[in-house]
Amino acid sequence: MKLRSFLFITNFILFNCDLAAQVAVPKGDDISYMGSGGKLNPLQAIMDIRHYTLALNVDIAQQSIDGYTTIDLLLLQKTDTLLFDLIHFYKVTKISVNNKGCSFYQQNDEIFITGNKGFKPGKQKVKIEYNGKPPVAVCPPWNGGFTWTKDSNGNPWVAINCWQEGGKLYFPCKDHPSDEPNEGADLFITVPAGLSVAAPGLLQSISKPENNKQTFHWKTNYTISNYCILFNIAKYKVYSSVYTTINGNKVPIQFYVLEADTAQGAHVLEIRARDCRILEKYFGEYPWIKEKMGIAYVPNPGMEHQTMISYGDKYTFKKVNGQDYSDNLYHEFGHEWWANKVTNKDWAHMWIQEGINTYAEALFFREEAGERAYDSVINIFKRKVKNEKPVVQGDEVNTKDIYTGDIYVKGAFFMHTLRYVTGDEVFFTTLKKLATDSMYTYNNFVTTDDVEKLFSKESGKNLKHLFDFYLRTTNVLEVSVVNTGFHEYALEFKNMIVDVFPIDVMTDTGIQHLMIDKKKIKIKSAFPPVIDPDGHYLKKVIE
């Protein structure tokens, strides 16, 4: 998702959201306390989720849902109790495990399922029937819930967002980033006839209207984060084309656009194809070639919903080298690599998803408008770094605890520093390896240490201290410059960020590219030397 304070338009949305918070949310329905992830409950640590099936009827008039979720899982050891997450807004009416009814109880935002003889290790099929009124989204996509609204033609328009709260916002699940359903998910969503459902994977079928309702069956076979297992409903028209990937595979691009906006359809498809070409160049082939490249227009700025990225920026574009560019469209799409394909194991490491993906925006400018344009984007990131708390705070952290602007901008600026320290060839090759090697993608997860070890190995440098310094502390490189004689200066590096690191110093003879391996060095210059003139480091110079 896009950093909310990035653009004027998102600030404007935030302002509106604050109004909505005062007006639209009834007392007792406040979910602002709710996060996702954090310390994994031992009862959930013993289960490996394999697949989710959601079968839900959406009652738009009543703003409610009812139906069931089936969870296929592998139980790693015997247990008396199975634990799932589902927020307290819903009433669970019936639960079976392997087709046998089970006793259960709901407590706060959890469901505890108990069996007389306990549950044995191995495959379990858990079916949970439930109904209720989902929370209304206060500030989507940053604060989740359902959005029940109408398009400009008066047709119902429903959107879901649950990044911050997790999938438990509307279906029972193991709500932790470290366990995605390896075999994907099936969604059977029933809506009033005439409306469409946009969801992950491939559309398998649309049932014939019955009682003026139709069921859309969507299926993804890919592993997927639980906050991406969701759908949007509208009177959509589908604009399609075919994209040929960097490896020659053909993937459908499908834009679920509102009827009133169909004139925009072809243009958005062209932008998507161009953006994909750039992202593929740096990060490898589009990740979901067996399914689709989907876009759904929604009544919020948009989210990284796998294979059906949502978009709602009212078709506002800026010009980059004469071409239309939407950082909203580009950013959310970049998440197909950084979030959906390369997924952090815990929210503690979310800078990998948001920081590297924000860095990818600078790469768009590098590609389309050159290195100077890249530098200007990097400088914007740098100016926005707050450095109030570390980017990585521990190893098991809840979404609410980690969400700061620095996971975007400091994370992105750190990639710029890493590019300088490792050099272009190693940096870009390693970044692509991180996005393509099976060790780091799809069913596997990544941590900050994984990224560090990979860059250390590929660069032949021990970068642990650099990663720790900039990601786990709020320290910046400190260097003092002291005039020690005629045209002579002593530079003292107060903190060494790597055993040997490069730094540019501008003197009267031009820019000198130095490798620093000790704390103090002497340098000759007719004027006080300028340290790191192009700004590769977050730093403080004491003169």
For Zn ion, the closer of residues 186 and 354 by Cβ is: 354
Q: Which residue's CB comes closest to Zn ion? A: 1
Could you tell me if 414 and 355 are in contact, meaning their C-beta atoms sit under 8 angstroms apart?
Answer: yes
- Shorter beta-carbon distance to Zn ion: residue 92 or 409: 409
Supply the minimum distance, in Å, between the C-beta of residue 335 and Zn ion. Answer: 6
**Distance between CA 364 and CA 370 in Å, rounded?**
9
Please list, in sequence order, all residues whose beta carbon lies within 8 angstroms of the beta carbon of residue 486, skipping any fewer than 6 positions away: none
Alpha carbon distances (Å) from 362 to 209, 281, 391, 413, 416 = 48, 14, 20, 10, 9
CB of 380 vs Zn ion, minimal distance in Å? 16
Residue ranges with strand state E in 184-249:
185-192, 196-198, 202-206, 213-220, 232-234, 236-244
Q: How far is the CB of 338 from Zn ion (least distance, A)?
A: 8
Beta bridge pairs of residue 127 = 70, 96
Q: Which is nearer to Zn ion, 6 or 489 (CB)?
A: 6
Residues forming a β-bridge with 413: none
Compute the least distance from the CB of residue 175 to Zn ion, in Å: 20
> Could you give the angle at the alpha carbon of 22 between the alpha carbons of 21 and 24, nearest 5°?
65
Helix (H) or strand (E) run with residue 516 in it? strand 510-516
Rounded to a whole number of angstroms, the minimum distance from the CB of residue 7 to Zn ion is 13
Judged by beta carbon, residue 280 or residue 327, the one nearer Zn ion is 327
Closest by CA to 114, choosing from 102, 126, 106, 125, is: 102
228, 340 Cβ separation under 8 angstroms: yes
Nearer to Zn ion, 1 or 412 (CB): 1
Q: Are 72 and 205 in contact (CB under 8 A)?
A: no
Q: Which residues bind Zn ion (CB under 5 A)?
A: 1, 354
Nearer to Zn ion, 1 or 431 (CB): 1
Closest CB 514 distance from Zn ion, rounded Å: 36
Find the shortest distance in angstroms from Cβ 357 to Zn ion. Answer: 5
Please tell me what DSSP assigns to residue 439.
G
User: Which residue number, 160 or 233, has a Cβ lying nearer to Zn ion?
Assistant: 160
